[in-house]
A and B are shown apart, each in its own frame.
Chain A
Amino acid sequence: MASADKARTQAGETPGTERQLGPPNWNVVIRNSGKAFFLMAAPLVGLLIFWELLAHSGTLHPVLFPPLEKIWVTMVDQAKSGILWLDIYVSLYRLLVGAFLALVSGTVVGLVMGMNQTVERILAPPMYFFLAVPGLALFPIVILWFGLSDFTLISVLWFEGMITVMVNAWTGVKTVDASLIRAGRAMGAKGMTLFFQVMVPGALPNLIAGYRIAFSRAWRIVVTGEMIVALEAGLGFRIFAARDFLAADMMYGGVVVVGILGVIVERVCLRSIELATVQRWGTLRE
């Protein structure tokens, strides 16, 4: 566990030396993980209980504030009919394609900006400009170009994500410790070698922070974009369409799925990149 690891380092025990460890102390393990789970779950459970009490109190309109069991039944129905899975598939597909393109292009452009002063001078002003323009504001224009299509959605997604990753990759390169660059040069690293062996790993904490922001922004754009571009499936589309039928339970269900998927993408995908790199190096600790 990460917390146990941290405690060990703080206790000043020297790593790398041989340690004699007995069998695991299950009482402590169970107590700690139980405590962690309770701390994580308690606020969420509290929120659900509050909702349920409110929904059954009779003060609120049952159509606008359906009780949890009704939302649950709707979600199960949608899952059984396959609509839920289709929506999830379509939304995730758009997210992954758009975010992948954004990550690759943003990383390349941002790193080159950090490396080459001419490129930096040319690209920095438009980058700041588009950083200030919300991606959603581009939708009407892009719809005129490409119509109501997946292509429209994914291009806006890509553009917004790319700008975000670019800024972070660029600042990442710019803020690599000067003494590390000197050390790399003193040990014979030059040009592209210096760039890939020193600048890129040095910029990685910023780069990964950029990926996280880009992913969460991209997810917002997918869901809201699906409402604007009105395609035939997707989680955002479903939430928006449910409005026409006054199906509040379907809308709440959609929001819940959006939230859960967002958390999974963030915690599972991006967090694991962090654990494998910057956190392992100690340049970042959660």
Chain B
Amino acid sequence: MAIQGPVKLQVTDLDKVFTIDEGWGRTTDITALESVNFEVRSGEFISLIGPSGCGKSTLLMIVAGLYEKTSGDVVLDGHHINDTGFDRGVVFQEFAVFPWLTVAGNVRFGMRMKGIPKAERDPVVDRLLRLVELESFKNVYPYRLSGGMKQRVGIARALAFDPEVMLMDEPFGALDAQTRSSLQQLLVQVWMETHKTVLFVTHSVREAAYLSDRVLLMSPRPGRIAEEIKIDLPRPRDVLSVEFLECERKVAETLAGLMGQSDGQPAWVTD
């Protein structure tokens, strides 16, 4: 079920150089990203995967407008992106749920910032909390929630102001295996219902294979898009089917190759 929508997000020749202050007037430049090029089509689910430190999170944060780029161009729906905006919803690895707002208050936050009138907010909050199965926790403060529940608030919150693209930075990385699988299933459900374009950063091969239409594999630092693998399987996917395992194997082997593993040996990239 390859989606052939128009191009939504286009990243062209993106570079990112961090300048580290070493003290005593010395600095070191570290090239995190070097001429990154890719495009995402409308409604597509794209995963970015790569060895740790390859700059995949940096790339996502630049697309989110939270980090500045050094050079290159990020274009979303024809607009050049240099700052944050309501056309992108971000989900963070650390959840970053506001502890001083209730679950509903967190979901409302972005809508308040966007200036959506009060009367229109409540139905959206109810709908999204139903979508992420948190409707009975509407008025609860986040400290009472488990990690998985907090991240569901994070997802609902990022969807609330109806962004064009969802940017997810290892959203399930801090969760235990069971919670992670249930949230992956939930995300597939949410994605099929909302038809959002998703850019998803992960370090898990299985997660990338399970969720994505296309997996973009990044090289070690300086990060660039080294390979692209299409996962052309119908959803919901069966992670134990032969077809799925073949896809997972392909991603794992390609990633192992990028990380310096020679051919002919069994793939050692596990979940």
**Residues on A facing B (Cβ under 8 Å):** 9, 15-17, 177, 179-180, 182-190, 193, 197-198, 201-202, 204, 277, 280-283
Contacts and interface: CB of A to CB of B under 8 A. Distances in A.
B204 to A, nearest CB: 21
Contacts of B18: none
Contacts of A182: 61, 66, 90, 92, 96
A111 to B, nearest CB: 16
Nearest to A285: B143
B99 A281 contact: yes
A16 B96 contact: no
A16 B139 contact: yes
Interface string B152-169: 000001100100000000
Contacts of B65: 185-186
A17 B145 CA distance: 12
B84 A282 contact: no
Contacts of B141: 280-282
A-B interface, 5 closest residue pairs, ranked by CB to CB distance from nearest:
A282-B143, A187-B110, A188-B113, A183-B96, A186-B90
Contacts, number: 83
Given A15-B137, A182-B61, A280-B141, 13 more contacts: A16-B136, A179-B95, A184-B109, A186-B84, A186-B88, A187-B90, A187-B158, A188-B85, A202-B100, A277-B100, A281-B141, A281-B142, A282-B144
Contact of B100 (A16, A17, A193, A201): A201
Given A179-B92, A182-B66, A197-B109, A281 B100 contact: yes
Contact of A177 (B96, B138, B140): B96
B98 interface: yes
A127 B94 CA distance: 34
Given A183-B92, A201-B98, A283 B143 contact: yes
Nearest to A198: B98
Contacts of B140: 15-16
Contacts of A9: 144
Contacts of B157: 187
25 contacts: A9-B144, A15-B144, A16-B139, A177-B94, A180-B98, A183-B98, A184-B98, A186-B64, A186-B89, A186-B90, A187-B89, A187-B90, A187-B109, A187-B157, A188-B84, A197-B113, A202-B100, A277-B100, A281-B100, A282-B99, A282-B142, A282-B144, A283-B99, A283-B100, A283-B143
A177 B143 CA distance: 15
A280 B137 CA distance: 15
A201 B109 CA distance: 13
A60 B24 CA distance: 66
Nearest to B88: A186
Given A180-B96, A282-B99, A185 B84 contact: yes
A177 B99 CA distance: 11
Residue of B61, B110, B114 with most partner-chain A CB within 10 A: B110
A185 B86 CA distance: 10
Interface in B127-185: 136-144, 157-158, 161
B257 to A, nearest CB: 33
Contacts of B66: 182, 185-186
A284 to B, nearest CB: 10
Contacts of A17: 136
